[in-house]
Amino acid sequence: MNSLKSDSIRVGQRLAVPLELVKYYPAGVQLSVPEVEWLAQMIHAEARGEPYIGQVAVGAVIINRMLSPQFPNTLRGV
């Protein structure tokens, strides 16, 4: 699928992950394939240009808000 010749990824390369094969999300929320794609777009919009850990932090904030009673419990609501 990714046509990689080694187990390392270089800057600028993209890794394709077939979302339909992902069955478990350890963050405690269940997301549909379109929701995962939307979350990725939001992370890109909010943290584009940030290091990986900054992008993870943005995703964590969104998911934490979904789990908090102080915010809407839907991805788009947050």
3-state secondary structure of 8: coil
For 17, residues 6+ apart whose C-beta sits below 8 A from its C-beta are: none
Q: Report the amino acid identity of residue 15.
A: L
> Tokens 């900054």 appear where?
54
CB atoms within 10 A of CB 33: 11
Out of 3.90.1510.10, 3.10.20.600, 1.10.10.2520, 1.10.3720.10, the CATH code matching 29-78 is 1.10.10.2520
Give the tens place of pLDDT for each residue, 30-64: 888 888 889 999 999 999 988 888 898 999 899 89
Contact criterion met (CB below 8 Å) for 46 and 58: yes
pLDDT band (50, 70, 90) for residue 2: low
pLDDT at 24: 57
